Amino acid sequence: MQRKKVVIDTKIEAAKTKKGLLLVHTGIGKGKSTAAFGLLARALGHGMKAAVIQFIKSRSDSGEERFFRNAANLNWHVMGDGFTWETQNPEQDLASARKAWEMACTYLRDETVNLIILDEFTYALKYGWLTIDEVSTALNNRPPMQHVVITGRAAPPALIELADTVSEANLVKHAFQAGVQAMPGIEW
Amino acid sequence: MQRKKVVIDTKIEAAKTKKGLLLVHTGIGKGKSTAAFGLLARALGHGMKAAVIQFIKSRSDSGEERFFRNAANLNWHVMGDGFTWETQNPEQDLASARKAWEMACTYLRDETVNLIILDEFTYALKYGWLTIDEVSTALNNRPPMQHVVITGRAAPPALIELADTVSEANLVKHAFQAGVQAMPGIEW
């Protein structure tokens, strides 16, 4: 038997608090953004209202964006310019990140929004486009039952400290290591 | 700059092989099934045909099941009886797992199906309801471009060996540790 799981399940059953959670999916393994999009499907299935803000991604032809585009109760914002080493334009990166963050903040003040996904958000902290102080303040002041999911590599310790649930995706192996190319439905 | 990511991206660009992938999401952290459901949304957004077989879950009131229920190109099968320590009925568990596996095998022989999700499948191996040999044979003989995603804790080494991409969700922290109860939209 899997005793550890039984103990965890008993703890879950004993838990009584209800609150809006801050969830962080970090690490270099696969499954951070997809975990957020799976949660999005889960929340929408319960009739919750949600918003997605993509901080880095600039393409609107992703499978997830196409699939969720017409979902009820959802606003999806592709706000990025691609990664900074692609754009080679730090001013543009900063401006895009600040614009995305302003958009995020409007949702973080709206108690009718049950779930906010800040996709690839950690890079905005990593590159100093946003400070952890302004981010912490906005997250702490959000509506008490609002859930927020943040994805991206190298979540800073202050963000992990602030979070309720943190999952780190460890890269055990990846198909690209065997020369397999990125494919639709898998990587985008 | 994030040199490691640049190196990885360069490798991805250099990769030329196209094939159906076996992806495994394991570990005790949050985000295994949700990562699979995010991939599902991604694949469906590209017009791919998919099937989900849930090996343990017995409830049909999950947000994900409700959300995806009416999606085109998708068959969703809830085949489980709950966990074995809930049912206390090993014969029933075995019978349910075998029935779910037979269902999985019909999809694993169908080249029109682009993506198959075997959710919480690892437990079927852990409890000996299925052998790794029969599973490996079916996976190896599937249509060459068909993607399969397997989720669940404690994926056995032979399954990891067989997989193309393996991500292990490490539990950094979980809200239940702070007494927060499981909530709709987050845990189911």
Report ipTM for this prediction: 0.90
- pLDDT (tens digit per residue) in A48-81: 999 999 999 887 789 999 999 989 999 999 998 7
A184 occurs within a structural domain:
no
**pLDDT per position as a tens digit, B37-82:** 999 999 999 999 999 999 998 877 899 999 999 899 999 999 987 7
A115–chain B nearest CA distance, Å:
9
Q: The domain spanning residue B53 has which CATH number?
A: 3.40.50.300
Kindly list the residues from chain A whose CB atom is less than 8 angstroms away from the CB atom of residue B16.
179, 181
Task: Report the pLDDT value the prediction gives residue A61, as an integer from 0 to 100.
Answer: 85
Helix (H, G, I), strand (E, B) or coil at A125: helix
Q: Residue A2: its pLDDT value, please?
A: 45
Residue at A30 is within a domain = no
Q: Would A180 be classed as within a structural domain?
A: no
What count of other Cβ atoms lies within 10 Å of the Cβ of residue B130?
A: 21
Chain A residues touching residue B126 (CB < 8 angstroms): 2
What residues contact A83, with CB distance under 8 A and at least 6 apart? A56, A123, B5
Domain count, chain B: 1
Residues B52/B76, Cβ–Cβ less than 8 Å: yes
The answer to whether residue B34 is domain-embedded is yes
Task: For residue A5, give the chain B residue with the closest CA.
Answer: B28
Give the model's confidence band at B88: pLDDT under 50 very low, under 70 low, under 90 confident, else very high: confident
Q: What is the distance between the alpha carbons of residues B122 and B125, in angstroms, rounded to a whole number?
A: 5
Query: In chain A, positions 40-69, which contact chain B (CB-CB < 8 Å)?
Result: 40-46, 48, 62-68
Pair A141, A112: CB distance under 8 Å:
no
Cβ A186–B21 below 8 Å, yes or no? yes
Contacts of B34 in chain A (CB under 8 A): 34-39, 42
Residue of B nearest to A72 (CA): B67
Q: Does A184 touch chain B (CB under 8 A)?
A: yes
Q: Report yes or no on A89 lying in a domain.
A: yes
Asked if residue A13 is part of any domain, the answer here is no
- The chain A residue lying nearest B152, using CA atoms, is A5
A162-181 tens-digit pLDDT: 999 999 999 999 998 999 99
Which B residues in the span 16-35 are in contact with A, Cβ-Cβ below 8 Å?
16-19, 21, 23-35
Give A112: exposed, middle or buried? Use CB within 10 Å, 0-12, 13-18, 19+. exposed
The continuous run of DSSP H or E covering B157 comes out as helix B157-162
Report yes or no: B99 and B79 within 8 Å, Cβ to Cβ: yes
| Structural domain includes residue A6 | no
Which residues from chain B sit within 8 angstroms of residue A18, using beta carbons?
180-181, 183
B contacts of A37 (beta carbons < 8 Å): 34, 37-38, 41-42
To the nearest whole number, what is the mean pLDDT of chain A? 91
Name every chain B residue with its beta carbon within 8 A of the beta carbon of A129. Answer: none
- The domain of B93 spans 24-152
User: Cα torsion at A158, A159, A161, A163 (round to 10°)?
Assistant: 170
pLDDT band for position A8 (cuts 50, 70, 90): low
Question: Looking at the predicted structure, is the pLDDT value of residue B16 above 90?
Answer: no
Domain assignment of residue A18, yes or no: no
Interfacial B residues in 70-109 facing A (CB < 8 Å): 83-85
